[in-house]
Amino acid sequence: MKKITVLLFITALLCFSGCENKKSDTPVKHSTDIIDKNTTFNDAVVPPLKADTNTKKFKLNDIDNKSYTFYFNNKDIFIDDIPQKFVLLNFFATWCPPCNGQLPYISDIQEKYKGKLFVAGFLVNDADKEYHEIQELTTKYAIDYFISNSKQNDTFAMELLKCLKITGNFQLPLTILYKNGKYYTHYEGATPIEMIEHDIKKAMKNKE
């Protein structure tokens, strides 16, 4: 079992339903940027976040240096330059069997709803993967969505979990669904893709 970075985990325990992550007792150094109070958002996509000192900003990139800027304040989220009103964030690690088992199904979901759903994956405790390793991963599982291997991924995950009040002792994969910038639901550990798709359809069907 490999060591977990002090930013997010101490030990990775593989289990049937998911990979459990132990929260470190070491204080986390936060490297987030606070949005300027004059920041404005395009409310044609999602309602604007209330920009205050609680609003966090992360610019995360993939191996090809494509990047997206993620803003969140409590349970609200905004992502620059995307037209979709529904967002699915997937936190995973290559050493986690349930994560790898879920990846091709996440890819199917992205392909099926790509006009309405923005999917982003984040390697946690895996951000040091080499270019060729990520390429092999995306090829193997036919991944055609944004996969961040940024060094800030662990801190991003920690801050987001804090806002959602999800315990630091959670299971991977962790998948979070948003609608119009608002938290909708999340899934910890191995979750049937049928359940995730059911909730996506329900969120898209409901007009509120």
Per-residue pLDDT band at 111 (split at 50, 70, 90) = very high
pLDDT in tens, 139-173: 998 898 999 988 899 999 998 888 888 876 778 99
Contact status, residue 109 vs residue 200, Cβ threshold 8 Å:
yes
Query: Which domains does the chain possess?
Result: 12-36+47-205 (3.40.30.10)
pLDDT at 3: 36
This prediction's pTM: 0.74
Q: What is the mean pLDDT of the chain?
A: 76
